[in-house]
Amino acid sequence: MAGPFSRLLSAGPGLRLLALAGAGSLAAGFVLRPEPVRAASERRRLYPPSAEYPDLRKHNNCMASHLTPAVYARLCDKTTPTGWTLDQCIQTGVDNPGHPFIKTVGMVAGDEETYEVFADLFDPVIQERHNGYDPRTMKHTTDLDASKVSSNIPLLIYTACVQHSVSPTPSPYFLTHGHYTTELLTLM
């Protein structure tokens, strides 16, 4: 069974000429295009921010409490130097509405610049989640002086959970295979 390409080549000279003209005009359209072809990660918004604002009415997380249409419109087109976007930050909170009795954060930071670029959203979420801690002044509301902890409290019941990323390596949420390979070669 002959394919369409082989049928086109075996067709008369008039049809071949039309096919070449069509392919030529398609190629000329890409060459003479006034703006370069963009990578998939640099997408232009097809709709205004108000149309892309997620429906968070039934969500119970810190992100949903502080993300307003105005904040979304202000931050939605910004990216960090590594390409992290607001939509990537909030995707986990949009996908997981949460439980009324267990309020989660509902967002992630892709790299260290995320906290600066999207500060209008991250700062209030951090303040809510960490009982008033202000990331701009870096003042804790609790007393963290270890000398004031009495020694008669059993230390086996206390744990500290620390999550971080090492600069300039992005957060584990944003790591690519290239990052893993580079980090492994650096460690060896």
Q: What is the pLDDT of residues 98-131, one digit of tens each?
A: 888 999 999 999 888 999 999 999 999 999 998 8
**Residue 168, preceding bond cis, omega within 30 degrees?**
yes
Residue 86 pLDDT more than 50?
Answer: yes
pLDDT at 111: 86
| Per-residue pLDDT at 36 | 43
Mean pLDDT across the chain = 74
What's the whole-model pTM score? 0.60
How far is the C-alpha of 127 from the C-alpha of 163, rounded, in Å?
18
Q: What is the pLDDT of residue 90?
A: 95
Contact indicator for 84, 114 with CB cutoff of 8 Å: yes
